[in-house]
Structure 1
C-alpha cells in the first residue's frame, strides 16, 4: 500500500521537464531518432579528431586517389572505406565535415529566424490593429512565394558563402515562426496573468518577452525542429545547384553535386553516401520533432 500510495506523490512532485522527458521516451521511434541525432551531433563535433582526413586541407588531397571505390587502399596505405570523389577527397571524412556545415547552417538559421519571426508574431498577436495587419500581410506575401525560389534570388544577388546562405534561409523561414507565434499570442493574451501584468503597468517589452513569450514557446519549439530539417534540405538543394557554400567548404549538398556527373559511369558512391547521410540527418530531426509536437501539445493523444 505504501508503494502504491507513494507513486501518485512522486508523479505530483514530478517537474514539467521530467514529465515531458518521460512521455517523450515512451515512444521507441522517438527514442531511436533522439539517439541517432545525438550520434550525428557527436560525429560532427569530433570530426577533426576522428575523421581520417581533413577534406578542407588541400595538402592532404591527392588527385591520384580520385574516384577510388569503397574499401580501396591507396599507394601510401590509406584505406578509403566509402571511396573518394573526383578531388581525391575521402567520402567518409567529407560526410563528417559536411554534416558540421549542414547542421550549423540549419540550426543557426532556425534560431535567428525564430528570434525575428517569433518577436514579430508576438507583437502582432498582442498589439493587434494596424500593426497586426501590416505584419501578417507581409507574412502572407512571404509565404506565397516558394522558399527555394526566394533563396535562389537572394543568393544570386549576394553570392556564395555560408553567411549568405544563413541570411537567405532566415529570410525564407521567419514567416512560419511569425504566424505560429501570433496564433499562440492570440490565445494567451486574454488570460488572467496577462491582465494582471497589464494592471501592474509593466513595460510592454517585459510583458511580451518575460510573461507572454514563455507560454508561447511550446509551438515555437515544435516548429523549430521542422524548420531545422527544412533548412538543411534547402541548403543542400542550394549547394547542389551551385548557389550555396563554396567549393572549399563542401556541405552534404555540394558533395552530392560533385558526384552527380559520374553516376552514369558507375561512380555512384560519390553522391550516394552523402545523400544517405543527409537523409538520415533529416529523418532523425523529424522523428524528434514529431514526438515533441505530441509531448508539448496538451490536446494530443498519447
Structure 2
C-alpha cells in the first residue's frame, strides 16, 4: 500500500501527453532542418526589404529627377552629389545600386509570386477537371500539358514577349503560359488517387454540384504537393523573369528588375566596374536559393513517403 493511500491522500492523476495540432507538428518537422529555417529567415528579410523599399531606400531609382549622370559608375563607398553614400556603388545612369536592388526585388517578387499564383489557379483547376471528368476531357487537357512541356520554357516565353512586347503584365502572362502545365500535371496525379476515396463517392451520392466536389472536397486533399510545386515555381519564375529582362524582353528600362540591373553592368565588367552586375546577381542568387531551400524542406515534410 502506497504512502498516499495510508495518509488518506488521493493518488496523483495520470499524466497526459500534450497532443500536437497538425500546424504545430508541421512547424516542428519543418524546424528540424536548420538550413531551411535559415532560408525562410533570409527570404522573409528579402521580402520585407522589397515591401518597405520606398521608405528605407536612400534613393528612388525610378525618379529621373533624383538621378545625376555625373554620379555614374561610382565605386562602392563613394559619397555622391546628393550627400549620401553609395554603399554598393552606382550604375551608368547614376542610380544607387543598393536602392536599385531594393526596388528590383519588388518587381522580381511581384512578377514571380503573381505569375505563380495565377498559373496555380489555372493549372490546378484544369488538373482537377481532367482527373474528375476523365475520358475525352482528360485526354485533351493532358495532351496540351505534354505539348507545353515539350518546349523549353525560356523559348516559349521569348516567343510570347516578342509578340506582346515589353511590360510587367506581359511578362506575367508569358510566365503563366509556361508554368500552368506543372500545376495541372501535379494536381491531376494526386486527384486521380483521391477521386476513388469514399468521401468523393459520398459527395456524388448526395448529388452535390461538380464545382463543390472539386474545390470543396477534392482540392484540399491535393494541397500538399501543390504547395511544394508553387514554392519551387516562384523561384523558377523569378529566374525566368531575370533572364528575360537580361535579354531585353522583360520589364521596361524605366522600372529595372534584378535581371535588367545585371544587364546594365554586363558591358562594364571587363573595365573593372564589377559592382554594377555583381551585387544584383548576388541578390538574385540569394533570393532563389532561399526559396528553394524552403521548398525542399516543404517537400520532405508534406510528403510522408520521403521521410526517413
TM-score (norm 2): 0.95
Asked if 1:222 corresponds to 2:228, the answer is: yes
Q: Which residue of 2 aligns with 1:158?
A: 164
* Structure 1 segment 113-262 matched on structure 2, within 5 A: 113-262=119-268
Deviation at 1:46, TM superposition (A): 1.0
Equivalent position of 2:34 in the other structure: 28
Q: CA contact under 8 A between 2:50 and 2:105: conserved in structure 1?
A: yes
Structure 1 unaligned residues grouped into runs of 5+ = none
Query: Are 1:109 and 2:115 counterparts?
Result: yes
Q: Post-superposition shift, 1:3? A: 11
Structure 1 Cα separation of the partners of residues 15 and 141 of structure 2:
53
- Structure 1 residues 157 and 3: alpha-carbon distance in aligned structure 2, compared to 1, 3 A threshold: farther
Work out the CA distance in 1 between the residues paired with 2:201 and 2:74. Answer: 68
Instruction: Name the counterpart of 1:17.
Output: 23
Cα deviation, residue 5, structure 1: 3.8
Q: CA deviation at 1:130?
A: 0.6
2:282 equivalent to 1:272: no
Q: Is the 8 A contact 2:31 2:37 kept in 1?
A: yes
2:305 partner SS:
coil
Consecutive unaligned residues in structure 2, runs of 5 or more: 1-11
Q: In the aligned structure 2, how far is the partner of 1:77 from the partner of 1:128?
A: 66
Query: Which of 4, 16, 20 pairs up with 1:6?
Result: 16
Moved over 4 A (4+): none
Assess if the C-alpha contact under 8 Å between 2:67 and 2:93 holds in 1.
yes
Structure 1 vs Structure 2 CA RMSD: 1.4
CA separation of 1:81 and 1:203: change in aligned 2, threshold 3 A? same
Post-superposition offset of 1:298: 1.8
| d(CA) in 1 for partners of 2:47, 2:39 | 12
2:95 is the counterpart of 1:82: no
The residue aligned with 1:54 is: 60
Deviations 1:160-204 (Å, cap 9, x if unpaired)? 000000000000000000000100101100001101101101000
Aligned counterpart, 1:282: 288
CA distance in 1, matches of 2:246, 2:13: 59
The CA deviation at 1:75 is 3.6
